Structure 1
């Protein structure tokens, strides 16, 4: 009787396992490499805005506090980028210039200095009036994994967090505008909450009635057709869905030394 050895088969299986193991190691190293590159992009993107804060604002040492010591050097900002239309501050970490250009795509991947920046910019909708006088002004920001830009806005999905942090602030060369948050919602992009062109008070009232139905929750903050609101928009992890925070203008301080606080 002839005995057939399976030694060759075992060696083949062992070789295959070694090749597979090496392949897994290479794949892991590639993933680590790209993760490192991504992290470097985050660091570089954040560094640009850190430098802007250092050179163009007088930011308090405790940046988490919206104190009266905060000031903006508008001449410096306009020299760096004439697209500047404001500066936004909001708990827990929003503290950025706001720009506006002729489309809503350029600043998705361009920083304040107009070079590539993974963070993009905080920017006003291209069709809004740059003086913030529209009934609804839309401001966009990326939902960054590291919490930069509008990445921490998700905290406002909790009503209790909004109750503790009810305001956001927009600074312009004319002074500071305080917006009181009156609702939040998750909606699809380019739907009714993104409406800008409202010719009459009836149009605005219809808009207010619609967003009330769409909101995740409402705060006890009155909004009328005589008011001006700002809609802060950021993406979610679900395709076209966007998370919106809406605030109504409740105070204006017309001076150059502007600040504020909860």
Structure 2
């Protein structure tokens, strides 16, 4: 009986080890697939050298970036924009989910990967003209997707957002420039994810954000004109946990795409 128990235990342990190895190999394969896919998309549809520089244009303060949204639409009609955050070198297509978590484990080209996509939730405005729009992305260990957002509160790079607080959203016709003014470590389902549809809800949301702002050197900003808010959200802490890290930005300016 004891021998049978030992054999059974050994079999279970072996199965656990084999399952773990298979999971690691699968995860690595999916990550490589996603990395190659987004590198190819970036090089094909988002030209950082369009005007000879990857930095801000000397003429208007916007990055020298040309994005082929029409070309991207042929691959995935769910695309709504391209996001570019220079200080963290975040540069990806953004899709809008039609159902909850549709793109949580699906790449832009529709392949299965735990890297998923950067996506707007079902309640956000696809034209980025809502009172509060949101983009979600995984906190990848290799820094891809929204994995670099954690650098904002890193002791080694505490001033990275202060030095360049801008997020650029490229749509078919317009480039929107957002400026970060607050961030917080919160939990899934908190008021950081509030749906905002009228002025009263907007004012309550801003009061919440400013009251929970953890950016010690955050920008002082008044919101009488109620500019559109864009929040960037990713996981924080243990994988599968409820902690979230959110950066809140407001629409500072815009220009038409030529």
Distance 1:26 1:109 in 2: 26
Distance 1:112 1:176 in 2: 21
Please show how residues 57-206 of structure 1 align to structure 2 within 5 Å.
57-60=46-49, 65-67=54-56, 68-90=63-85, 91-158=87-154, 159-200=158-199, 202-206=200-204
**Unmatched tracts of structure 1, length 5 or more:** 1-15, 257-262
TM-score (normalised: structure 2): 0.82
Distance 2:25 2:110 in 1: 24
1:83-105 CA-partner distances (Å, limit 9, x unpaired): 11100011323110000022231
Distance 2:16 2:223 in 1: 57
Distance 1:195 1:205 in 2: 11
Distance 1:34 1:66 in 2: 40
Deviation of 1:149 (Å): 0.2
CA contact (8 A) 1:108 1:121 kept: yes
| Larger RCO, structures 1/2 (Cα 8 Å, 6+ apart) | 1
Corresponding position of 1:47: 36
* Cα distance change on mapping 1:129 and 1:31 into 2, 3 Å: closer
CA contact (8 A) 1:204 1:225 kept: no
Distance 2:224 2:69 in 1: 31
Distance 1:28 1:115 in 2: 27
Distance 1:26 1:210 in 2: 49
Deviation of 1:28 (Å): 6.8
Number of residues paired by the alignment? Answer: 236
TM-score (normalised: structure 1): 0.80
- Which portions of structure 1, spanning 4 or more consecutive aligned residues, are displaced by more than 6 angstroms? 23-30
Q: Which moved more, 1:46-55 or 1:77-86?
A: 46-55
Greater Cα radius of gyration, structure 1 or 2 = 1
Corresponding position of 2:251: 249
**Unmatched tracts of structure 2, length 5 or more:** 1-5, 57-62
Deviation of 1:120 (Å): 0.6
Corresponding position of 1:215: 213
Corresponding position of 2:26: 37
Distance 1:112 1:26 in 2: 34
1:177-220 CA-partner distances (Å, limit 9, x unpaired): 111110110111111111123322x2211111111111212512
